[in-house]
Chains A and B, each alone.
Chain A
Amino acid sequence: MNDATGVRTRPALADVAALTERLRDAYGDRATTTHAIREQHSHGEGLADAALPDIVVFPEDNDEVSAIVRSCHAARIPVIAFGVGTSLEGHVAALYGGVCVDLSRMNRVLQVNDADLDCRVQAGVTREQLNAELKGTGLFFPIDPGADATIGGMAATRASGTNAVRYGTMRENVLGLTVVTADGRVIRTGSRARKSSAGYDLTRLFVGSEGTLGLITEIQLRLYGIPESISAAVCQFDSLKHAVDTVIVAMQLGIPVARIELLDDVQMDACIRYSQLTEFAVKPTLFFEFHGTEAAVREQAEMIEAITAEHGGSAFRWATNPEDRSRLWKARHNAYYAAMALAPGRQGFATDACVPISRLTECVMETRDDVAATGLIAPIVGHVGDGNFHLVVLFDPASADERARAEALAARVSRRAIAMGGTCTGEHGIGMHKLDALREEHGDAVALMQTIKRALDPLDILNPGKTVPLR
């Protein structure tokens, strides 16, 4: 609801009460106003800026989502889609209250077309669940943001992950969507065909729109054949610069590495302690993974080894069997928790800069110096193959000064990336925490994004206040 000055305000209590009543009548146990459930749905895994929804509803099919959104539309009450709550930028906080639509019961894999290498899933399917259900088909879904996020959430935030360098992000891997629009219509975008020149690219417009243009309920995804051979290797460096330079050369040569992850010495220290990676030294480190035929994997690895040697890297430590590999990647995925464990009692949040690969060394080195000057603990970890890296910035929640320094550091990281032709977010999204950075990055194009938001959600009921706020 908007007041006379155009400022978005909470809807009237009586309207919320009436809608809540109606939803409870319609969905029974599947509509709850319990405080604990509302609290659980008020935040993701980033900083807790809890803003509770008035009610959480658990629909089971497109028609139910459509009916809920129609009710919200009629009453002009906010509606916020929720997967499993692993987002990092406050995407699900109900800033103006309203209805949280938890899609976790829409968790069916609807179709697997192994000949066409695609599948259709409901939004609440998680990526690990999907890969478990694909077992036996010889296919897999590669996008891996670390968390076991839902496919719907990954599409909504345009997630990426450790192997984007080879397989792309959700932008490249979503072929089509079913979306419930602001007025409760159910539309399908895209098709199972691999290419289309018909009409505007609504699929990619909804991908990354963070629930502000429509609620994604089904996703058509690209799948890939499980590579004949997979092997992983670890290489350690005496200098961070040399590690990053290695990545740049590898990328410029176009070597199709499946993953390249950078961990600086601080992060490596954290991972060694947290995940007992005792065979490694506290040094800047690259994790590599190679996919392909046996010959291709061998060849890629040889090329990379030659480059690392030129940059003063250690001999490769190989992990060819699945157990060793998964131990390494688990350690990588736990990097955030490992970093948090460096300083118990502190809170942390992740930055998400992504720059052109040619500026990567400059950006990483400047960022490291910047961290050192702040006196904060903020290890560096990232999918550097696509120019994307994170700081896990730790701060003492009891110290206003420290929090301010942490936030200022994060703002500088975004600004630095943008100044180098990059972006403030490679994969986490804008949510509620990067609104200023979005403006800095896109300038006048933000006004156009607002016009599109207004065109597709004129009443501003879809996840209001996020991504591209109207006011």
Chain B
Amino acid sequence: MLDPAFTSALAEVLPPSSLLTAAEDTRPYECDGLTLFRQQPGAVLLPDDESQVVEILRRCHAAGVPVVARGAGTSLSGGALPVVDGVVLSLAKFRRIVAIDADARTAVVGPGVRNLAISEAAAAHGLFYAPDPSSQIACSIGGNVAENAGGVHCLKYGLTVHNVRKVRVVLIDGDIVEFGGESLDSSGYDLLALITGSEGLLGVITQITVKLLPRPPFAQVALAAFGDIEKAGAAVGAIIAAGIVPSGLEMMDQQATRAVEQFVHADYPLDAAAVLLVESDGTPVEVAAEMAEINDVLNASGATEIRVSRDEAQRILYWSGRKAAFPAVGRISPDYYCIDGTIPRGALSRVLRQIETWSAEFGLRCANVFHAGDGNLHPLILFDANRPGDQARTIEFGDRILQLCIDVGGTITGEHGVGIEKIGGMCAQFPTPVLERFLGIKAAFDPDGLLNPGKGVPTLARCAEFGRMHVHHGQLPHPDLPRF
């Protein structure tokens, strides 16, 4: 419950339609894509412009009221979960594509612009915005920056951090700063990288300049079948080790392909233990040369069958299975839990084999659908929340996978962020001196800890208390959205 005096102060800044306080109005904001956690906020604020954001933050700062910034609410880690006695600051109205500069190959956009909308607007110039998280039809670019979002194409084109040039940020005291620049490099400390992936803990982003790339004239995808999952894992390593940088390198195991085939009929070989999708893009000459190399490596790695897309329709068909994998898995199991660990590619076979062993041990099916080229695993643990013990075992299974990711030199989240979900896992991944630096940086930006408290970086006290890996089951909303 917010202090009525504070609500009145907000009413000086925002028209009534942009200031939601009634329980029925704030309910849609009680969670994001991680629905296990719910909390209704004291108010939801929907500013129209930056000057309102400045005034809101000044008032929150003065009154000591926590602020949770929110984009499209598609976060899978609870990054936009409201805080008791706090406000949700929605950037949903910042939907303007301010400028597209085809010569400089940049777009200046509001944080509420949908990821895919940027590429759609840039298409007229033959350009596109490369990072393509699963939820790109819905998720906002501001949220992408806050989470350092990835996607299928980031193997070749980089993560959000590689594709953002400049951001405008309102700090908690209402000051406006800009990080980065319009040129390729910028001077001084890399505050742009620091705010990218900072999950709303350092400031509120009000404008973003993204890099655009020329749309490759041609693309082909090879679908390769393997008799066992380790060989498929080794093939991924062999492709990378051969110096090939595919524009997409995705893997699905049999559990996943069978679920997909029933759902979208993507023409996958169902007897295969695993399939790889390897995409090459560029000029037809480049693609032909790269595809020949990819074919050689796949053959040498023991692929039992290789099909290369004949035309654009077939390329899209092969990808349709991958894109539909999450909802397809949702059809074969009452519940599933998506893990998001990343490992060095060399450890792929070992980790996949271990997951297989644990799957048998826990008696829980596990479908693997993931960005193999980046080593970003998304094991989907299938369970039934109504069956006693399933959920606890699922969490235990997930913990083990993430601990294994850390043990082989990887990380507990490749692209979904820490949010509230993995706050305990942070204690397992980072030793105290590193956490101290994180907290020092947080304090430099937001000494009172008002921006998105309780997320992203755990307090040392919390780590002392919950030292072990601690992750939670989350159900996926909008199961119809294509997800990678």
Contact = CB atoms under 8 A, between A and B. Distances in A.
Interface in A145-202: 158, 160, 164, 168-169, 171-172, 181, 185-189, 191-202
A89 to B, nearest CB: 10
Interface string A196-221: 11111110110111000100000000
A449 B188 contact: yes
A265 interface: no
Interface in B92-140: 101-106
Contacts of A191: 342, 344, 409-411
Nearest to B430: A199
Given A299-B283, A423-B185, A205 B413 contact: no
B148 interface: yes
A201 B194 contact: yes
A110 B58 CA distance: 50
A429 B188 CA distance: 7
B161 A201 contact: yes
Among A160, A171, A224, A438, the most chain B Cβ lie within 10 Å of the Cβ of A171
A293 interface: yes
A198 B185 contact: no
Interface in A241-276: 248, 251-254
Interface string B188-229: 111101101110000000000000011000000000000000
A76 interface: no
Given A138-B243, A191-B409, A455 B441 contact: yes
Given A172-B162, A200-B194, A160 B185 contact: yes
A53 interface: no
Among A356, A422, A424, the most chain B Cβ lie within 10 Å of the Cβ of A356
B158 interface: yes
Given A187-B434, A445-B178, A204 B194 contact: yes
A36 interface: no
Among A185, A208, A448, the most chain B Cβ lie within 10 Å of the Cβ of A448
A31 interface: no
A207 to B, nearest CB: 7
Nearest to A190: B411
Contacts of A52: none
A158 B438 CA distance: 21
A40 interface: no
Contacts of A168: 162
A252 B286 contact: no
B184 interface: yes
A31 B191 CA distance: 36
Contacts of A468: 188-189
Contacts of A158: 185, 190
Interface string A16-54: 000000000000000000000000000000000000000
A193 B214 contact: no
Contacts of B161: 201, 204
Given A138-B243, A185-B433, A354-B185, A254 B213 contact: yes
B444 A448 contact: yes
A421 B433 contact: no
Given A296-B289, A299-B283, A224 B243 contact: yes
Contacts of B286: 292-293, 295-296, 299
Interface string A425-458: 1110110001001100111111011011111100
Contacts of B150: 195
Given A181-B433, A254-B214, A296-B285, A197 B185 contact: no
A358 interface: yes
B479 interface: no
Contacts of B418: 197-199
Given A138-B243, A253-B214, A449 B191 contact: yes
Interface string B150-165: 1000110011011000
B342 A194 contact: yes
Contact of A208 (B190, B290, B413): B190
B197 A200 contact: yes
Nearest to B190: A204
A192 B348 CA distance: 13
Interface string B356-379: 000000000000000000111000
A437 B442 CA distance: 27
Contacts of B241: 114-117, 225
Given A114-B241, A197-B417, A201-B161, A454 B434 contact: no
Nearest to A191: B411
B104 A357 contact: yes
Given A169-B185, A455-B441, A456-B437, A196 B430 contact: no
A210 B174 CA distance: 30
A250 B418 CA distance: 40
A281 interface: no
A114 B240 CA distance: 9
B183 A387 contact: yes
B294 to A, nearest CB: 12
Contacts of A425: 185, 187
Contacts of A225: 241-244
A417 interface: yes
B194 A434 contact: no
A187 B441 CA distance: 15
B334 interface: no
A226 interface: yes
Contacts of B182: 355-356, 420-422
B344 A192 contact: yes
A165 to B, nearest CB: 9
B375 A194 contact: yes
A285 interface: no
Given A191-B411, A386-B184, A438-B187, A199 B438 contact: yes
Given A254-B213, A427-B185, A454-B444, A443 B437 contact: no
Given A117-B243, A251-B105, A425-B187, 6 more contacts: A172-B162, A193-B410, A198-B422, A200-B457, A387-B184, A452-B444
Complex A-B, nearest 8 residue pairs according to Cβ-Cβ distance, in ascending order: A225-B243, A421-B182, A204-B193, A254-B214, A358-B103, A455-B440, A422-B183, A193-B342
23 contacts: A139-B243, A193-B411, A195-B374, A195-B411, A197-B411, A197-B413, A197-B417, A198-B411, A200-B194, A200-B457, A201-B161, A205-B441, A208-B189, A251-B105, A296-B282, A354-B183, A357-B103, A357-B105, A420-B182, A423-B186, A442-B187, A442-B188, A452-B444
